[in-house]
Amino acid sequence: FNAGDFNDGDRLRALGQFYARALVHAGISFEMLFGPAYKGITLAATTAIALAQMGQCVPFSYNRKEVKDHGEGGIIVGAPLKGRVVIVDDVISAGTSVRESVAMIAAAGATPCAVLIALDRMERSGDAVQIGKFSAVQDVQNEFGIPVLAIANLQDLLGFLQASSDPSLQTFLPAVEAYGAKYGIT
């Protein structure tokens, strides 16, 4: 999955609508969005736009990778972090981005209340040496006690590919099945 492929206005608009619908459907109470640098910046912005189009205007902010010492300065850009904050990102791999985001949000006196991602790859946490028994998403949920919401997951993707009659999509099925068998949680 490469969120960078959402690289034009139509695709980005549609993706923002999917994020917004998933968040609204989940019924999570929140006051603002936070997009971790770098992909999360655009994803939080397009989600905020889609929510506004649905009649729910919410502020958003994001972080810089490097502290800026001139202009508006600081590491956080956008609305001040306050209240219940949803972290918006593309996927969770090792959970590093979420951990950094939770720390920044808490340091500002706000409360992280959920993580919203495009795809839950349903892969086990860890690395090539030490593979965990839980998924990266489950690890984040267990560590922080907040829900991780996903627009889709690996099972959704497999079901879509299996049901598709498009031969070009069928070519991806063996690789996705092999990925799930090797890295997936059971």
Q: Which of 39, 65, 68, 133 is catalytic?
A: 68
For 122: left if phi > 0, alpha if psi spans -120 to 50, otherwise beta; the answer is: left
Catalytic: 68? Answer: yes
Q: Count CB neighbours of 131 within 10 A.
A: 12
Instruction: Answer for the pair 42, 13: CB distance below 8 angstroms, yes or no.
Output: no
Catalytic: 39? Answer: no
Quote the CA–CA distance of 93 and 157 in Å, as a whole number: 17
Range list of β-strands (E), the chain: 32-35, 60-68, 74-78, 84-88, 111-120, 124-126, 131-135, 148-153
Q: Which of 25, 65, 70, 133 is catalytic?
A: 70
Instruction: Answer for the pair 23, 115: CB distance below 8 angstroms, yes or no.
Output: no
Catalytic residue ranges: 68, 70
